[in-house]
Amino acid sequence: MDPNALSLDTLLGPWRVVRFQGQGSYGAVYRVEREAPTGDGPFALKLALHPLDPRFEREGELLSRIRHPHVPRLLDRGWRVLSGGVPFPYLVMEWVEGTPLYAWAAQQERTSRQVCQLLAQVARALEATHAVEGVHRDVKGDNVLVRQDGSAVLTDLGSGCYRGAETLTHQFPPPGTPQYQSPECQRFQWEARHLPRARYEAQPADDVYALGVTAYRLVVGKYPPECVAMKQTEEGFQFVPVEPVAPERQVRLSPELAALIRQMLSDEPSFRGSAAEVAQALEHAAKRSGPWADQPIRPVSEPVPDGMARVSKDAESPVDESPPPVSVPVSEGPEHRLRSLRSERTAVRGLMAAASVCLLLGGVWWMESQVAWETYPGESESLGGLTDAGPLNAASEVASQSEQNTVNLDVPQKPFPGQGLPPCEKHEVEINKGCWVRSADKTPPCGIRSYAWRNSCYSPILQLGRPPSSVQP
């Protein structure tokens, strides 16, 4: 259908076309008003470009299930019969006046606190979508509008799906934008490349990963590096870990925001946290971060702004020096929830900052409405007191590399997700039912990249191997 086929004043049910707004791959958007003015307009009418397009039925059904201030509200759906008697489906939603997220960022300087607030609202929209057993499948800055009041709206659920919905895509690639696809989605496409009936089932963790990519591009100005890589071996192609480039190596931003971006981009889906957990973490960061969260996000190559003084954690008094650029190492450890942290308090006494807690232990999430952002040696004997007191300000205290080397994490009681299991190879050691390799020249404390066992340091063996010859569709 020609998107300009609807002229001004055309009626579709009670909706009168005011102007043509634009078009995408599957639909054209018009600004409309009610035929009988009620003073509550304008509205957005999305008309299919293809007759009987089932995507519109699915998008309308998903929107009808969601009631959230950061998701457009569905008002009506119906059919427009054009010449020849061919029906084209349409949807009517509330009109969202706003600027796409990346364009908004290009127009003004943004701070870590502003970014946390906006991303928290998008995460809440995803929480509402996942609560009705739906997935967005195309989370990106182009589909987030920033209103004039600074609030964010997650739009364009045309690629969305929900449990029980009809399958519309029967071939690769799956719906969505390639740069935002999760590692597990990319691996599936490789492993099932020869299986025409294989279909990737998107999960909420895919939306969270896409939100992490959105956050990274929002603060850095470009996409993060490729999340998966492969190398050719004698046994065929194998997946290999990719060293992530932390956003704080590119730009100055608050440690809390940097840690959460890395967490959302975790290779292991369970480490990312749910959309609700991410939203709560971002809200805490927006509320509790220190003064550095109000500074513009700028490249690390630029000088520190004059007058920025670090705050003493003891006396709340300014210290006559500017804080260095944030530099927090990327964790390779497992996810530890607050319950396990309380029982392993010796493993975190050496942590000096919020980002260190989140990353050294593989991601601490606000699972019980509070999070311990930082633990200073000698200040607390357990995380219980910190949890009761709420998150602390860690923006002005970043652990140095020498301090990180004092951290000593014990080998966990069970293998990590994806870790190699016995029988182990000759050069490997079986510990607590998992396969490990010993760091021959290293003794505890082992730092952040290995784990202590009987006065030696070990690293887990990842179970990569050859892609399977068959994949369940």
Q: Does domain 3-94 have CATH number 3.30.360.10?
A: no
Query: What's the pLDDT at 223?
Result: 94
Token pair, residue 96, equals 């969202």
Strand partners, 22: 29
Spans of all domains in the chain: 3-94, 99-279, 408-473
Query: What's the pLDDT at 350?
Result: 36
How many whole angstroms separate alpha carbon 443 and alpha carbon 56?
Answer: 60
Query: What's the pLDDT at 396?
Result: 32
How many whole angstroms separate alpha carbon 213 and alpha carbon 183?
Answer: 12
Token pair, residue 102, equals 């990346």
Identify the segments of the chain with pLDDT beneath 70. 1-5, 39, 83-84, 168-173, 235-236, 241, 303-408, 447-449, 463-473
How many whole angstroms separate alpha carbon 415 and alpha carbon 425?
Answer: 16
Token pair, residue 92, equals 């009517």
The count of C-alpha atoms lying within 13 angstroms of the C-alpha of 230, restricted to the half-sphere facing its C-beta, is: 14
3-class SS string, 111-167: EHHHHHHHHHHHHHHHHHHHHCCEECCCCCHHHEEECCCCCEEECCCCCCEECCCCC
Strand pairing report for 434-439 and 318-319: unpaired
SS3 355: helix
Q: How many helices (H) and strands (E) does the chain have?
A: 12, 21
Query: What's the pLDDT at 150?
Result: 93
Query: What's the pLDDT at 166?
Result: 74
Question: Domain 99-279 class?
Answer: mainly alpha
Sign of CA dihedral 29, 31, 34, 38: positive
C-alpha 340: how far from chain center: 24
- In total, the chain counts a number of residues equal to 473
3-class SS string, 392-405: CCCCCCCCCHHHHC
Query: What's the pLDDT at 453?
Result: 84
